[in-house]
Amino acid sequence: MNRILIYDTNNREAVHLSQFLQTSGFAVATVTTARQAASFAREYDFELFIINLSDPGEMAYTTVAEIKCRPRSAQVGVIGLVPDANSESAANETGCDASLVRPYDPNELLRKVRELLERPNNSITFMESMDANSTSTQPTFEALADSLCEGVRWLESRAADLGEQGPIAIESMRDAAISLRQRLEPEKISPGSDLPDSVRDRHIRHDFRNLLAAVNGFAEILLLDDSLVEDIGAHLRTVKAESREFCTMLDSIRDTAAA
């Protein structure tokens, strides 16, 4: 039975949609906060996410970005429920694999659900690859963190070109990237290991994920601006790709420890 997670701040609507999907043969869980949605996506294996993007604020959009940042859920389809047709492109840019304008036809939603679940490997094409200058050599945690900091500092120098949200978003990205780099503490490496002790600590790895989600989420929000000049867009996409690479490396440590 396919497992679906619904994130909607309106609990009544979430329950109504959950009942509809359950009668259609799916196992469904519902959450009403961004923190719950991120936690469930991190801890459980869902095969589809349905997220209401109609509520004011940007937490739902950031949640989509965080889901797509995590290797465990990056390949899982996301359907965004949007308030109007003008919001569909924003939902797709953020990482949704499909969108529906509310109020929607339940049968059309069911069709999209089945379509995404039946897609080969339930794959997505949302996350851009690293830019052409990247090499195939496996980067280190320190090198990735340094690159993220450098990329965000470059964006900070262009904050005036990022619209009204730019300065606040870049400040949050900068603080998260700097904190990430500081917490790596590369000088603390146990004998016989080539990894900083911090990435070997699962609690700190969890903190790293929160910091990466902040960097990635704000990059996603800024990329929603269609008027971005190309060099700024390229730097934002590189920051996203490096955030995902960092998550992939963290998951590799986790999987090795569990083996």
Listed by start position, the domains of the chain span 3-122, 141-258
Average pLDDT over residues 189-204: 58
Mean pLDDT (the chain, rounded): 78
What is residue 114's predicted lDDT score, i.e. its pLDDT? Answer: 93
pTM, 2 dp: 0.52
149-190 residue pLDDT tens:
988 998 988 888 887 778 888 898 899 888 888 877 655 555
Band (49; pLDDT cuts 50, 70, 90): very high
Q: Is it the case that residue 110 has pLDDT exceeding 80?
A: yes
Band (137; pLDDT cuts 50, 70, 90): very low
CATH 2.60.40 fits 141-258, yes or no: no
Band (215; pLDDT cuts 50, 70, 90): confident
d(CA 183, CA 173): 15
Is it true that 3-122 and 141-258 share their CATH fold? Answer: no
What is residue 112's predicted lDDT score, i.e. its pLDDT? Answer: 94
Q: Any idea which of 4-13, 104-113, 188-197, 210-219 has the lowest mean pLDDT? A: 188-197
For tokens 């190309």, what's the residue? 230
Any idea which architecture 3-122 has in CATH? 3-Layer(aba) Sandwich (3.40)
Q: Is it the case that residue 57 has pLDDT exceeding 70?
A: no
Average pLDDT over residues 197-208: 67
Average pLDDT over residues 103-110: 92
Evaluate whether 159 touches 246 at the Cβ level (below 8 Å). no
Evaluate whether 140 touches 257 at the Cβ level (below 8 Å). no
In the chain, what is the straight-line distance between the N-terminal and C-terminal CA atoms, in Å?
Answer: 27
- Residue 238 in tokens: 């590189």
d(CA 72, CA 46): 10
